[in-house]
Amino acid sequence: MKLSIDEARRIAVRAALLDATPASDLESMVRGLAMLRVELTTTVMPSAEHIAFTRLPSYRFGDADRALEAGHLWERDWMLRTLDQLPLFLPSMRTWADRTGSRDWMDKNSRFQRAILDRIEAEGPLTSQQIPDDADVPVTSTGWNNNRNVTIMLQCLHMSGDLAVVGRKGRFRIWDLSERVWPSVDEVPAAEAQRIRSEQLLAAYGIARDTPSLSRGEIAVMEPVGEPVEIEGVSGRWRVDPSQLDRDFEGRTAILSPFDRLVFDRERLAHLFEYDYFLEMYKPAEQRIWGQFSLPILHEERLVGKVDARTDPKTGVLTVNRVHEDEAFSQSLRAAVQEQIQSMASFVAAHLA
């Protein structure tokens, strides 16, 4: 099978829920994207808010957190998911510590981890700030994790399925025992779960590079699901979700989060969309091309520019320093981008009003 590059782009945009058909509700949106990424960077707004804002007209700031607190969504490793995905992740939770080499440190701190679980069981949900560091063997690292024993142990217990995130207090996650939070569900066998998760991930991408390491952090190894496809003028092997073929497409204009499903795979971004992009928040100011936290601009099936913007955390005012046009915008496109900027400014300001 062979697709033109425009056809492939339309499939990717439609699968990412960025065509002209809006998502119906938060849970179906998260299900369609296979996850909702949580990044607390507030240069413009947190990623979950931004991603939902671009797809769901009825979304209000904080709806994702409220859905988590109400138990309608669950979180693992900074990704929100729908409850019907939980049985698919239970097998990988059981093996996580061994697969990642964390078992040895956890075992050496068995008393410490038991004390954390007992404390949360007795006192209820807690943040890392409320838990004393009683580690027997501290974390050793040359990076920023050095001696962050409570945070690392909470993450280990979280990834192993013992602790669930039930909310946030500022930038800190609130932890509770998963057995008190998650519904009782039957575990899907590991091989079947891997296949289903691969299918869900390909459906969220629409079209993706044919590689087992497609999305680090989401799935360890992606199974060869979907159908192999060639894209005219684009190198490499690709796979397409067959449900996305032969469907109508109506595009729109949107200003995206740097962590959006459509743009987060930077290699696909370069090959499929021929889009030059790099998140420059960690670069010195004098080395930046597009700004500290530039936002990709989508127009129909093309990525056409970047918005260099920043929100004042005290006033909620969104300031746009510059709109970068990769190619000269038409008058109508410029007006559409300005409309999206105004909509985004209103959304952020309403939260802090």
191 secondary structure, DSSP code: H
What's the CA gap between 124 and 174, in Å, rounded? Answer: 10
| 216, burial (CB in 10 Å: exposed 0-12, middle 13-18, buried 19+) | exposed
* Sequence ranges of the chain with CATH classification 1.10.10.10: 84-181
Residue 166: the pLDDT is: 98
Lowest mean pLDDT among 226-230, 281-285, 296-300, 329-333: 281-285
* 244: alpha, beta or left? (left if phi > 0; alpha if psi -120 to 50): alpha
For residues 33 and 16, is the Cβ–Cβ distance under 8 A? yes
**pLDDT tens readout for residues 26-85:** 999 999 999 999 999 999 999 999 999 999 999 999 999 999 999 999 999 999 999 999
Instruction: Give me the pLDDT at residue 212, please.
Output: 73
The answer to which of 66-75, 136-145, 229-238, 285-294 has the lowest mean pLDDT is: 136-145
Tokens representing 68 are 């988590």
Q: Is 309 exposed, middle or buried (0-12, 13-18, 19+ CB in 10 A)?
A: buried
Q: What integer pLDDT is reported at residue 141 of this predicted model?
A: 66
Mean pLDDT, the chain, whole residue set = 94
Question: What is the reported pLDDT for 222?
Answer: 84
DSSP state of 100: T
Beta strand 163-169 with 172-177: parallel, antiparallel or unpaired? antiparallel
Alpha carbon distance 234, 232 (integer Å): 6
**Model confidence pLDDT, tens digit, residues 109-152:** 999 999 999 999 999 999 999 999 999 999 876 555 556 899 99
pLDDT of residue 338: 98
- Model confidence at 313, pLDDT cuts 50, 70, 90, reads confident
Residue 346 Ramachandran class (φ > 0 left, ψ -120 to 50 alpha, else beta): alpha
In this prediction, residues 157-182 reach a mean pLDDT of 97
Average pLDDT on 301-305 reads: 98
Share above pLDDT 70 across residues of the chain, in percent, rounded to a whole number: 97
CB–CB of 8/16 below 8 Å? Answer: no
pLDDT over 60 at 23, yes or no: yes
Predicted confidence (pLDDT) per residue in 172-222, tens digit: 999 999 999 999 999 999 999 999 999 999 999 999 998 877 666 787 778
Give Cα 61 to chain centroid, integer Å: 17
Name the CATH code of domain 84-181 (choices 3.30.200.20, 3.30.70.60, 3.40.720.10, 1.10.10.10).
1.10.10.10
Burial 55-92 (b: 16+ CB within 10 A, else e): bbeebebebbbebbeeebbbbbebbbbbeebbbbbbbb
Residue 220 CA to residue 48 CA, distance in Å, equals 23
What pLDDT is recorded for position 44? 95
**Amino acid (one-letter) located at 82:** T
- What pLDDT does residue 221 have? 77
Whether the CA torsion 151, 152, 153, 154 is positive or negative: it is positive
Helix residue spans in the chain (DSSP H): 5-15, 26-33, 47-53, 63-69, 86-99, 103-108, 110-123, 149-159, 178-181, 190-205, 261-264, 266-273, 331-352
The first and second tokens of residue 197, run together, are: 């998760």
Tokens of 232: 């005219």
When comparing pLDDT for 315 and 109, which is higher? 109
Is residue 311 within 8 A of residue 61, CB to CB? The reply is no
Q: Give me the torsion for CA of 21, 261, 199, 214, rounded to 10°.
A: 150
Q: HSE of 140 in the Cβ direction (CA atoms, 13 Å)?
A: 4
Cβ proximity of 264 and 37 under 8 Å: yes
